[in-house]
Amino acid sequence: MRRRGLFLILCLFFYLLGAGGTGRAAEPATRIEVEGLRTIGKAELIYLLGLRGPNALAPANLALGIKRAFKKGIFEYISVGLVPGRPGVITVKVREKDRIKDIRFDLKGKGPSRGFLKARFILRERDFMPYSLLDRAGAALGKTLSMAGYPDARVSVCVERPDRKDPYNVRLVVCVFPGPPVRVKRVRIWGVPSPPGKPGKTINIRAGDVYNQFELRRRLFDLKKYYLERHYVAPRAGPYSFSDGVLSVYVNPGKRYEADFYGNHALGKKELQGLLPFMQAGDVTDELVKEAAETIRDAYRGKGLPHAEVATVVRQEGGLYIIKFYIAEDGKFRVGRVDFTGVSLPGDRLRGFLALHKGAVYNPVLLETDRSSLQDFYYGLGYLDASIGEPAVRVGGPGRMDIAWSVKEGGKYVIGEVSVKAAPPLSALRVRQAIRLKPGDTYNAVDITDARYRVLELYNERGYADCSVNVEKHFADHRAGLAFTVDAGRKYVFGKDIIVGNRLTKERVIRREFLHRQGDPFSQETVMKERQRLYELGLFDSVDVSEMPAYDATFDTVYRVKESKPGSVQFGVGYGEYEKYRGFLGVSYKNLFGMDRLASARFDFSSLTRRLTVNYEEPWFFGHRLPFRAYALAESRTQLNFDTGQTSYKLIRYTATAGVEKQLTRHLKGQVYQEFSIVRTYDILPGIVLSREDVGTLAISAIRPALGYDTRDDPFNPTRGVLAGVSLNLASAVFFSQTDFAKLVVRAAKYQSLSSRLVLAGDARIGLAEGLGSTHELPIVERFFLGGRDSVRGYPQDSLGPKAADGTPIGGNAFFVSNLALRTRITSHWWIVPFLDAGNVWLTVGQIKPLDIRFATGLGLRYMTPVGPIRIDYGIKLSRRQGESRSNIDFSIGHAF
């Protein structure tokens, strides 16, 4: 009985197993075999072909999948088939496009340089190989050679596959048979007798030279430019012809003008020259001279000289026109009183947005602008019938012009009934909430347009890309009834995403920035946000997003990226009084393994320091957007007593740090780092030893949580915003540290643009530290030091605060520093920066003396680069003590704060 039961169970098991097998066989594909794929992964190809989806092998779906995969831009052939005798097995064969690995020019004879050929060949290295354009490329190069003076040139292009292991990379061999060149026997310049500017010298083609039309055209362009710079209004350099070795070039400089200005004070000669229309018009005529006078008159009105008059005298000497502008500037006027009649609104409110307000330079041209502004203002307030009369302008006193506006306000319109005819899936109530307009509100056409856009947005973000919203208005008794009617149209969803142009970057690095999933409602706003996120990765020069034509109310989206160069090298050198020479050399690569990982190494050196830092950054940690950073540092440093030049101590430090950062809000960032250092301090002056940890080898292990708030517009050269932060450094035996302490640093900086050339920057930093447990004094490498290029300029590096008996700074457990700078742009690249710095260091927190602050002021010079300024600062001590130097010079890279 038990055996029978067992037998039945086994039968049932095998039956179910068999049934399960049959069921899987009915699936579209149990196995997909791919041949020929090289550039992208198999998973991405299958995703694009849609072979895992339902009805994948339906003809329409299959065609759609192949077309979608082709959009990737790397394929020239795809076939999808079934294997006989292997049900459920799909075979995909692809042929990727060849890529041009290199182009070699094989010059058979004397002719143009390889550089010339390479620059003018239409195919480029690293591009895909367009076989159908190959003959055309050869023919085009032949034509180019003909233009360059080799009319019998022949070009043949052949394709080689130099590497059998990498068959998709090809080499183009361009064989060029230049043939004999055509040479110039004689150059003839014709047009006008003896044209000025020695055109023969500018064209500079002599008998025996190759008849190179590219070179000839360039020189004719130079000749034309020469004439234009000398006020020839329509010079002609060309056309040219070539026959029997004779090069004939037509040259005619044409008309020229000289303009002189008399009586001008408010406008300079250069400004007035810029107003003349002759060069643009290419002629000098009486009409153009009149136009020039009128333009000058308008320019004077803009300067508050409404009565300026311009008289002209024109004298012609052959092709030269001498034009004299006599200018009577008359008195300068400013706006005096601005009055209104017929208004119920307060006059100050109306004056607030007028260009011609009290004290402004009187420019009659702006009267019409102000009239239009008033009209718009009244319209915006619902006064649809308001009319603004011609302003009455009269002289109100010496140099003063009074303006009086007369206004007929008419009645004020308000919104009457607002009716809404919504379309599913949104209710009328939800649409009404988006409209936000209610009966009694002031009628304003802009508000109504905004309301319409809000409704459109509401539907669009739910996938209704074709939605239309119609607003009908009915006016009666100064009330406007509004009727909103929504036609939602069809609902569209996101289909598949096609990523194009990512040669280095892995597909998943791009895909993880997406905010949608397949089947989500299609929204342009989502697409725009995704585009922004991809830009912010810093991996791409351009990101373009487009939708493929819709199918089944679905949009496949194409993300076309152009990758930027991932590697960079940085270097810099400088000189400071303390460190003497100093410099750095850095290399970085920001797209390691195509995963948006940054790896960098930097070597800093000076007469006192050698420091090597290796850095690694991973923007996604364990599948989450949680940037992980790790760096290792090896440093050898000598600390000097600046005054005596004696070595205070030397140290060798090895540090490893790792941690994560999290963007908590748009501006707020949190981070936690664990740092482990081994520090060896030696050759230390006895006077600065405060604790046993100051000498010998010490292991310091600390955890460092921090919060940062950053609203700066540019981290390298901020012109506005706030930078604030707090960080705590906690070293403890719990983390295997040989010393225990806590360090807290708080900072706040504010940047405020005062004008286009002025930025006021202020900064304050406070640091407090305490030894914990058996540690009373912090080891010297962890104590605070101040003075120098990034703290209190005017004082040598790290020279402030408590000192040993011999005057060597020993650092402290508390500091305060504050800086104020007025960053002033003098040219596009050069800035000068007057600054005021204040700060000090105290041995312990209990010894802080708020009045014991050391001040310094000075002037800095900055040269702006894309990664911040190169700077030199000259600081002068304001509270100099006996024995201290008067000033200090610092050279550095980046702003002080």
Binding interface with other proteins (CB under 8 A):
35-36, 38, 57, 59, 62-63, 66-67, 70-73, 75-84, 91, 93-95, 128, 130-133, 136, 167-168, 465-466, 490, 492, 500, 546-550, 555
**β-pairing verdict for 758-771 and 154-160:** unpaired
Closest distance of CB 63 from other proteins, Å: 5
d(CA 219, CA 235) in angstroms, rounded, equals 14
Nearer to other proteins, 123 or 403 (CB): 123
Nearer to other proteins, 339 or 547 (CB): 547
Nearer to other proteins, 294 or 544 (CB): 544
Closest distance of CB 103 from other proteins, Å: 17
Closest distance of CB 892 from other proteins, Å: 50
Nearer to other proteins, 63 or 445 (CB): 63
d(CA 745, CA 768) in angstroms, rounded, equals 6
Q: What tokens does 812 get?
A: 């402290």
For the chain, give the number of residues.
Answer: 897
Q: How far is CA 660 from the centre of its chain?
A: 26
Nearer to other proteins, 131 or 475 (CB): 131
Closest distance of CB 372 from other proteins, Å: 34
Closest distance of CB 462 from other proteins, Å: 16
Q: What tokens does 52 get?
A: 């895992």
d(CA 776, CA 843) in angstroms, rounded, equals 12
- Concatenating the DSSP letter of every residue in 550-615 gives PBTTEEEEEEEEEEPP-EEEEEEEEEETTTEEEEEEEEEEEEETTTTEEEEEEEEEESSEEEEEEE
DSSP annotation of 90 reads E
Residue ranges of E strands in 300-357 = 309-317, 320-328, 334-341
Angle at 622 (CA atoms; ends 618, 624), nearest 5 degrees = 80
Nearer to other proteins, 73 or 696 (CB): 73
Closest distance of CB 318 from other proteins, Å: 45
SS3 assignment, position 887? strand
Nearer to other proteins, 136 or 183 (CB): 136
Closest distance of CB 567 from other proteins, Å: 29
Query: Tokens 């095998």 appear where?
Result: 14
788 and 751 Cβ atoms separated by less than 8 Å: no
Nearer to other proteins, 71 or 602 (CB): 71
Handedness of CA 41, 44, 50, 51 (dihedral sign): positive
**In Å, what is the CA distance from 356 to each residue of 177, 272, 389, 804?**
72, 24, 16, 68
What amino acid occupies position 590?
A: K
Nearer to other proteins, 168 or 413 (CB): 168
d(CA 754, CA 432) in angstroms, rounded, equals 43
Closest distance of CB 79 from other proteins, Å: 4
Handedness of CA 116, 122, 123, 126 (dihedral sign): positive
Closest distance of CB 43 from other proteins, Å: 19
Nearer to other proteins, 167 or 538 (CB): 167
Query: Tokens 């190989």 appear where?
Result: 129
Nearer to other proteins, 96 or 596 (CB): 96
Closest distance of CB 527 from other proteins, Å: 12
Q: Is the peptide bond before 364 cis (omega within 30 degrees of 0)?
A: no
Closest distance of CB 466 from other proteins, Å: 6
Start-to-end CA distance of the chain, whole Å, equals: 89
